[in-house]
Amino acid sequence: MSQPYVILTESSCDLTPELVDQAGAEVLPLNFTMEGKNYPHYPDERAMSIPEFYERMRNGAVAVTAAANVAELTDGMEVHLREGRDVLFLCFSSGLSSTRDACAIAANELGEKYPDRKIYTVDTLAASAGQGMLVLLAGQKQQAGASIEEVRDFVEQTKLHMAHWFTVDDLTYLKRGGRVSPTAAAVGTMLNIKPVLHVDDEGHLIPMEKVRGRKAALAALVRQMRETVVNPEEQTVVVSHSRCQEEAERLRERILEEFHPKEVLILELGPIIGAHTGPGLMALFFLAEHR
């Protein structure tokens, strides 16, 4: 009989409390700073609600994120190790954050302190609901009786099939983060250019194409799914957004009508990713032949 184990991740996964419970996982908070104050972000939004976060951004507040603190990660893992549970940590993409390095440091230190326990970290190379979906799938495997090694290997085998496709309505936030140049942002805004981005095999957020207008950008997300999705009728698809609920619902209906997946979840983009993309983001996550 395999030893009991827990699946841990960080709040960059953008799962709701209900989905966290469904996965049987635990989510450790990452932090953001806004107007000189630090806020830990939890799935239940206890420190600041997502609507308030984006409202403040729209009013000019700047949000800044930081990598997880090694001590906080250590504490989050150790409570389980101390009680006799092994740990499988599914980490935020190393292509977007140094959080994965902090996880590895914490795991190595704890491995020396608890030599009889198993501690595995997986760089999901994923973010937001892409990371969250890997946590949900891992939880399903665990609940079906898979060992910690089997779940770890499953995530490693699946992660490069978790497609992430995004578009944003306002280039200001990508400009601030260095994703587009000030000149490109100014010209793009003037010409109503919308970038279509994805997370690549190294976990980086990469601009893939530019289209004119929001409608064309959302159509591009659907086109990418059409070209690469695998067995859509057998999977859960996620539409993610930052304060675009009506658009998200329309995209959900389009996905249901064309691809007939088991379900389409609508999730809100949390502050950890939203600090870099701002309000107005729409994203699509699904399992594909490749990212």
Please check the confidence at residue 172 and state whether its pLDDT lies above 80: no
Decide: helix, strand or coil at residue 198: strand
Per-residue pLDDT tens digits for 103-162: 999 999 999 999 999 999 999 999 999 999 999 999 999 999 999 999 999 999 999 999
Mean pLDDT of 255-261: 98
Mean of all residue pLDDT scores within the chain: 93
Model pLDDT, residue 207: 86
H or E stretch at 82: helix 70-82
Question: Exposed, middle or buried by CB within 10 Å (0-12, 13-18, 19+), for 132?
Answer: buried
Two tokens, residue 179: 């994703």
Q: Is 167 left (phi over 0), alpha (psi -120 to 50) or beta?
A: beta
Residues 88-120 have pLDDT tens digits of 999 999 999 999 999 999 999 999 999 999 999
Q: Give the 3-state secondary structure of 84-141.
A: CCEEEEEECCCCCCCHHHHHHHHHHHHHHHCCCCCEEEEECCCCHHHHHHHHHHHHHH
Residue 174: pLDDT band (50, 70, 90) is low
Q: What is the DSSP letter of 247?
A: H
Question: What pLDDT score does 178 carry?
Answer: 58
Over residues 243-252, the pLDDT tens digits come to: 999 999 999 9
Residue 236 burial (CB count, 10 A): 16
Please give the helix or strand (H or E) that residue 176 lies within, else none.
Answer: helix 172-176
For the segment 259-279, the average pLDDT, to the nearest whole number, is 96
DSSP of 51-79, one letter per residue? Answer: HHHHHHHHTT--EEE-PPPHHHHHHHHHH
